[in-house]
Amino acid sequence: MMIEFVGSDEVFRARREKLVKSLVEEGILKSEEVIRAMLSVPREEFVPPRYRELAYLDTPLSIGYGQTISAPHMVAIMTEALKVSRGNKVLEIGTGSGYQAAIIAEIVKPEGHVWTIEIVPELAKFAEENLRRTGYSDYVSVIIGDGSRGYEEAAPYDRIIVTAAAPEVPKPLISQLREGGRIVIPIGDMYVQILKIIEKRGGTLHVEDSVPCVFVPLVGEYGFKKDLWHDG
């Protein structure tokens, strides 16, 4: 009989490997770098302690403040779509738990860097602690602020990922993306969106639709206005 020690590193590693294997079998995870990153980053360290045992369910989980850590399959889809590589400079809007930032950091490090912006100060602190504990602090800068305005200070970026739903692509993100760069962003209304993959080539944006998705709203200057958060 095999004894599972609840909460041990080995148990979490086995669950992580099982989840990654099923995402590969479903055809969601494809590239070597993204598979390696998802096998390396311990999701149990990015969820609130009471949800540690649920860390490898393929579902979003609450991180408080009405926000969520995205489901692993959505992190996999977005990271694959971003086509990020070692050495890239990446901007993330919507730090949340810091998990998606850690996945990208695992791919871009050691020469590359991730700047991630979070509008809820308590979540920025939560993410910073998670990133420090898991050893990603040197490769990720967490900034408190309105990410819908981007982060001019470190622009231009090779890649930009928005992990909250936006009504349209925030204009500052387009100007902060370098020529040949790529943005992955859910665009739609408050309740359902399409994941868009946008490339800047020859100064023009080329937009491709990926999958339907459901994200919490991007707020701030270029996001959804809070007084419009109602039905109809």
DSSP per position, 81-98? HHT--TT-EEEEE--TTS
Which is nearer to ligand SAM, 147 or 172 (by Cβ)? 147
Which is nearer to ligand SAM, 161 or 198 (by Cβ)? 161
Set 8, 70, 97, 210: catalytic member: 70
> Cα–Cα distances in Å, from 3 out to 7, 41, 44, 53, 123?
12, 24, 20, 16, 36
Which is nearer to ligand SAM, 161 or 202 (by Cβ)? 161
- 124 Cβ partners below 8 Å, 6+ apart? 95, 118, 142, 143, 144
Least Å distance, CB 32 to ligand SAM, is 22
Positions touching ligand SAM (CB under 6 A) are: 67-70, 93-94, 96-97, 99-100, 117-120, 123, 146-148, 163-164, 215-216, 218-220, 223
First to last CA, the chain: 56
Least Å distance, CB 71 to ligand SAM, is 10
Q: What is the dihedral of CA 92, 94, 97, 99, to 10 degrees?
A: -30
Which is nearer to ligand SAM, 147 or 188 (by Cβ)? 147
**70 carries an active-site annotation:** yes
Least Å distance, CB 122 to ligand SAM, is 10
Contact 20, 41 (CB under 8 A): no
Least Å distance, CB 204 to ligand SAM, is 26
Q: Which residues are catalytic?
A: 70
